[in-house]
Amino acid sequence: MPQFEPVLLANIHKPDSHTRKAYEASGGYSALKKILKEKTPAEMIDLVKASGLRGRGGAGFPCGLKWSFLPKNHPGPIYMCVNADESEPATFNNRILMELDPHQVIEGTIMACYATQASTAYIYLRIEYPTCYRRLEAAIAECYDAGYLGKNILGSGFSLDIFVHRGAAAYICGEETGLIESLEGKRAWPRIKPPFPAVEGVFRKPTVVNNVETMACVTHIAARGSDWFKSIGVPADPNNPRDAGSYGPKLYCLSGHVNKPGCYEQPLGITCRQLIDEFGGGVWKGRKAKAAVPGGISMGLLTAAELDTPLDFNALGKVGCLGLGTAAVTVMDDTTSMIDFLHNTCRFFSHESCGQCTPCREGTHWALAMMERIKAGKGRVKDLDLLLEIGDTIGIIPGSTICGLSDGAAWPIKNAIRKFRQEFEDYIKTTNPTGYMVTEAVPALVPLSVH
């Protein structure tokens, strides 16, 4: 692998890296000064478009293209929402950026707001991140003191206010319109689209929603140029018109059964095996990998034979996964029960479903009920086919729900059963050899008697 220079994590080990003084000593805010002086908002959008930056929050939508969807010559106000909810299991890269280098995120946010002409930005932060909250609030105050925020920033005529809004920690708020509803003080039910947020977002005004890591990437694109950014990662496949390429550095979260879990910055496109062996120190306790989650549990599963798959926006779909997601890799060794994995996964999505869409509300509930029955030793082989039917019929991709939470709930079901079906069948046949249909409550579900 060619030598790679980290940029997103370059400052995190320096003393007081969260302060403006330390950030400016490393060249911080020089890109902002240059952009405000030398580029128009339209030119800033073109710069990000040319870089090929795709959103780091999970969907991978081209960032500059998203900004260009805003209506032209709108009287305003226009809003920017920075998604710092980070509720995808095993994902912690945004937390590291906000705690240890918040000014990098804020500088990118200011330039993104300049490009989109947003006058107000909200950083939507999950309540379980108290250190992030304190660091962001302190960093924003430092920016006002330095003239990087407020009226007529650095004499450019551009004005911006940034506010940190703390959410009550719901997975559904990672969906951009669910986030917007919560920000407005309502129940976080995703909105039917269209209209999209670029037309009607916060307070029914044009809005852009971008991820924390995406904002950090904007900082370096502005400082180093689009050609530099595009020189990193995986070029677009010329034979696939739907592949927009996977460009730039990426923060990979690595956890589970590895010797050195952590957050590692590498170019998009390294393989899952490289991440585990070269950065995670291999699978722990001398064991072998059985499976790995490639980007948060909503993305599905890689088998041990699929670990050489590149971690980019295109390759993971070729092995049946939903996508790259947040690039949060969780490794499972060869002692891990797939029944336990799928039970825990179904329990998570059943709990986090907002309940607005019937296929998701009922599908996640019944998937959990069947997995509880299977785990309790009362499952049937037929249940596996019923679970697959649920997985194949809920979600945006079959067109049955408003948001993608149900797709995230479905993919682990489909991957786990189709890729490890023999393990599921062996468990069912061992624990319930007669295979009869249970109609009474199983012990795991019987409430405690009150005496």
The CATH number of the domain where 378 resides is what?
Answer: 1.20.1440.230
The enclosing H or E element of 250 equals strand 249-256
Q: Which of 181, 206, 231 is the last residue of a domain?
A: 231
Determine the Cα–Cα distance for residues 103 and 140; give it in Å rounded to an integer: 8
Shared domain check, 254 and 319 = yes
Shared domain check, 358 and 314 = no
Q: Which of 274, 300, 333 is the last residue of a domain?
A: 333
Q: Residue 441's pLDDT is what?
A: 58
**Neighbour-count burial of 59, counting CB atoms closer than 10 A to its CB (0-12 exposed, 13-18 middle, 19+ buried):** middle
Shared domain check, 256 and 141 = no
Determine the Cα–Cα distance for residues 443 and 424; give it in Å rounded to an integer: 20
Per-residue pLDDT tens digits for 392-409: 999 998 899 999 999 999
Kindly state whether residue 146 falls inside one of the protein's structural domains.
Answer: yes
DSSP 63-87: HHHHHHTSPTT--S--EEEEEE---
Per-residue pLDDT tens digits for 194-244: 999 999 999 999 999 999 999 999 999 999 999 999 999 999 988 888 888
Tell me the residue range of the domain where 50 lies.
20-231
pLDDT less than 50: residues of the chain? 1, 450-451
Q: Residue 92's pLDDT is what?
A: 95
Shared domain check, 401 and 325 = no
Kindly state whether residue 13 falls inside one of the protein's structural domains.
Answer: no
**Is there a contact between 165 and 123 (Cβ–Cβ < 8 Å)?**
yes
Shared domain check, 428 and 315 = no
How many domains, the chain? 3
Kindly state whether residue 423 falls inside one of the protein's structural domains.
Answer: yes
Determine the Cα–Cα distance for residues 282 and 353; give it in Å rounded to an integer: 35
Q: Residue 1's pLDDT is what?
A: 44
Query: Where do we find the tokens 């786990």?
Result: 416
Shared domain check, 252 and 206 = no
What is the value of pTM for the model shown?
A: 0.92
Shared domain check, 272 and 220 = no
Shared domain check, 342 and 329 = no
Kindly state whether residue 287 falls inside one of the protein's structural domains.
Answer: yes
Kindly state whether residue 28 falls inside one of the protein's structural domains.
Answer: yes
Q: Which of 333, 359, 387 is the last residue of a domain?
A: 333
Nearest to 122 by CA among 178, 80, 77: 80
CA distances from 451 to 441, 447, 448 (A): 20, 12, 9
Determine the Cα–Cα distance for residues 229 and 214; give it in Å rounded to an integer: 13
Q: Residue 434's pLDDT is what?
A: 83
CATH number of the domain where residue 304 is located: 3.10.20.600
Nearest to 403 by CA among 170, 85, 174: 174
Q: Residue 439's pLDDT is what?
A: 62
For 301, phi and psi rounded to 5 degrees? -140, 145
